[in-house]
Amino acid sequence: MSTDIRLEKIKKILLDSFEISRLEIENDSSKHSRPGNDTHYRVLVVSEDFKGLSKVKRHQSVYSACQILFDEGLHSMSLQIFSLSEDKGQVLLDPSLCASKK
């Protein structure tokens, strides 16, 4: 069984940086690059630390916490960020499934 080292680093950084109630991370790299090139992730995070912050500020705080990973080659993190009161059991969305129906 192989370990996704970058996923584990994302998890550790977020858990160390925020008081997290719920965290889901999925490696989405296979849809964007060749296998083994772990550069794209989807992240759902719920924390009271985000209460009262705009969507932009929430994203900036997560990207700032993970800056070292971007410096090491992380290319993309698709973020879904909620405060505790906003968490209604959201699921980690697959962006490819979000296209509007014709």
Instruction: Report helix, strand or coil for 98.
Output: coil
Mean pLDDT of the 6-25 span? 96
Confirm whether 51 is domain-assigned: yes
CATH of the domain at 65: 3.30.300.90
* Residue 50: predicted pLDDT: 97
Domain that holds residue 44: 5-86
Confirm whether 96 is domain-assigned: no
The answer on pLDDT for 34 being more than 70 is no
Confirm whether 60 is domain-assigned: yes
Confirm whether 91 is domain-assigned: no
Are the beta carbons of 73 and 41 closer than 8 angstroms?
no
Confirm whether 47 is domain-assigned: yes
Are the beta carbons of 47 and 80 closer than 8 angstroms?
no
Mean pLDDT of the 92-100 span? 57
Confidence of residue 95 (pLDDT cuts 50, 70, 90): low
Q: Bridge partners of 77?
A: 41
**Domain count for the chain:** 1
Confirm whether 102 is domain-assigned: no
Confirm whether 93 is domain-assigned: no
C-alpha span between 57 and 35 (Å, rounded):
32
